[in-house]
Amino acid sequence: MLDEGLTDEASLPHSLRRRRETTAGSGTFEVIQTSALWDPRRTAFLVCDMWDRHWCAGASRRVDELAPAMNEVLRAARARGVLIIHAPSGTMPFYEGTPQRKRAQEAPNSPAPEDIRSWRYLDPTREPPLPIDDSDGGCDDEPPCPSFPAWTSQHPALKISAEDAVSDDGAEIHNLLQHRSIENVVVMGVHEHVRSGPSVLHSPPRWARQEHGAHARYDG
């Protein structure tokens, strides 16, 4: 929904791409591309699990490479009024007490129609199988990397501005989105296809307004 008077340039012109199974059960998919305009004030970018360090060396390299480019995207979106939510899950103590963390914690409560706080696994009744085997946590190194608590915060190349928010809590993020009447959410991150973190970061819940939903993937 665009406010009158918003120019095309100011309304985040972009293309959306999705895949549709040609006939149910065929396993053959076609690519459908459409163009869209979004009101930046009704749009949020959700930065998922772009940690400072990962136990997987390959994952760390991918984040190091992507973070500076992603930061430029966030900077441009922020300048147009897009809400940026940083969600480096498991590192909230690092941000405790900051205005960006409080912004998420203090967003007016808006009850979600289903539980969005607990871990949510892939739902085969409404989601296709992942294109990879994720039983190894996504590691593709040889020999496999040992898992250990590696991350402490978000990658430093991703700047957190005064007007941004920080949260890894599905309910808090839901409150933020509802309070600002956000209609479009772009999920960004290297690991988000595997490490879904809080369930609001997983495939958007059924109740989410998905008519314009984009799921931006930057898989390594």
What does the binding site for Zn ion look like in residue numbers (CB under 5 A)? 56, 58, 139, 141, 145
Q: What is the CA radius of gyration of the chain?
A: 18
Please identify, using beta-carbon distances, which residue of 139 and 214 lies nearer to Zn ion.
139
Write down the least CB distance from residue 190 to Zn ion, Å. 12
Write down the least CB distance from residue 140 to Zn ion, Å. 6
Write down the least CB distance from residue 62 to Zn ion, Å. 10
Write down the least CB distance from residue 156 to Zn ion, Å. 21
Please identify, using beta-carbon distances, which residue of 58 and 99 lies nearer to Zn ion.
58
Please identify, using beta-carbon distances, which residue of 117 and 136 lies nearer to Zn ion.
136
Please identify, using beta-carbon distances, which residue of 58 and 205 lies nearer to Zn ion.
58
